Amino acid sequence: MALMFSRLARNFIKNGYFPTDEDTVGCITHLLCAQRSPARLFDPCCGEGTALADIEQGLRDQARLDHPDGDPPQLETLGVELDSERAWHAKTILDRVIHSDLNDVVVKARSIGLMFLNPPYGYGVKDGANVSSAELDHAKAERLERTFLRMATPLIAYGGILVYIIPFYALDDDIRAHLARNYDRVRVFMAPEQRFKQCVVVGVRRRSANASKAVLDMLVQAKEKPELTPVLPESWEDEPYQIPAIEPGQEFTFHAVRIDAPQLGDELRRLNNSLLWPSLEVHFNQVKAACRPPLREMTPWHLALSLAAGQIQGRIHSVEGREFLIKGDTFKTKQRTVNSEVNDQGEVSQTIVLLDKFVPVINAIELTAGQRRGQIIKIA
């Protein structure tokens, strides 16, 4: 089931957004296999997220048909999108989406099992460059398709799958050489829908090696004679491209360098169960017992011992009605003293004395309702 109808996609083309059509996404899904799990799927230009969501659903449906009694594959879908409206729509259908420029997103290298890359098309011009559109070729500006491919390849795990959708005329020498050096089982097809003159390149990430002449020739033909390149098939009879599983215990990094207030709020809601405030009573609850007050005011030494023993902590109320959660502690410092003496022969000797000193500290968290709630206050 497609999550986005073609008539809706046409509304975005005017803004430079070229969403992958439903037929192409469906054919791509037939090439893939996700029998091993869990697996990680990433779209660095996800738009509204519909293409990657369709692929995820197609992989689940395919696994259900192949293994009716087995568990569905555990697939994690990630996306990055620069446009705010499309990014927030993608957040509703993908697992994690960052509204940001891909250059401002940190992703762990070699951690992605499937890279679905349908980048922006055209030339990228540096900020402040005074170059007209007619002069871009002469200025040798970097094509965005090439830029995004170079950024995406290091993120794919060895054995991971690249699905690369670009106009066939953008398959220049640099892109062809990059694909031939870094990917095995490279295949290129023309998209079923040719409104944007797209081709689909599929490959398996490998360690960089010499470029395969057969792959280079195939990509050259796709650019110069697209009519001789096969159309993406509706069914796939060859060995499928299997998405590798995530290595157990592997730490994963996926965050933006800069984050705005709405996304911060969204992340806090997503991680609500792991935050302090929802479980405040659990972490700081203690059995209430009657404690005898000291007979006299405690000296700093006795105060330090009480703090170190954890006897000074809990929820207190001030005379003004403010409420605090206090926590006592103590730390040790060394007081250094240097004494110099001169004897009858004029010789100077120094005596250095290091004295241990315990310093008590009392901190509090403001619990009073209002803007100050959550502030850390140093009492002593």
Contact assessment for residue 202 and residue 116, using Cβ atoms and an 8 Å cutoff: no
Pair (133, 232) in one structural domain: yes
Contact assessment for residue 203 and residue 241, using Cβ atoms and an 8 Å cutoff: no
Pair (251, 352) in one structural domain: no
Pair (34, 158) in one structural domain: yes
For residues 99 and 263, what is the distance between their CA atoms, to the nearest angstrom?
A: 8
Q: Determine, yes or no, domain membership for 288.
A: no
Contact assessment for residue 360 and residue 330, using Cβ atoms and an 8 Å cutoff: yes
- The confidence score (pLDDT) of residue 297 equals 83
Number of domains in the chain: 2
Model confidence pTM above 0.85: no
Q: Determine, yes or no, domain membership for 276.
A: no
Residue indicated by tokens 């609850």: 285
Pair (117, 231) in one structural domain: yes
Range of 334's domain? Answer: 296-378
Contact assessment for residue 267 and residue 99, using Cβ atoms and an 8 Å cutoff: no
CATH of the domain at 130: 3.40.50.150
- The confidence score (pLDDT) of residue 300 equals 75
pLDDT, tens digit (0-9, with 9 covering 90-100), for 156-190: 999 999 999 999 999 999 999 999 999 999 999 99
Pair (172, 90) in one structural domain: yes
Pair (184, 262) in one structural domain: yes
CA distances from 293 to 157, 287, 290, 298, 309 (A): 63, 17, 9, 10, 16
Residue segments in the chain with a per-residue pLDDT below the cut of 50: 1-12, 14-15, 127-129, 138
Pair (41, 86) in one structural domain: yes
Q: Determine, yes or no, domain membership for 283.
A: no
For residues 41 and 53, what is the distance between their CA atoms, to the nearest angstrom?
A: 10
Contact assessment for residue 257 and residue 104, using Cβ atoms and an 8 Å cutoff: yes
Contact assessment for residue 48 and residue 25, using Cβ atoms and an 8 Å cutoff: no
- The confidence score (pLDDT) of residue 106 equals 96
Pair (171, 103) in one structural domain: yes
pLDDT, tens digit (0-9, with 9 covering 90-100), for 118-147: 999 888 755 444 555 555 554 557 889 999
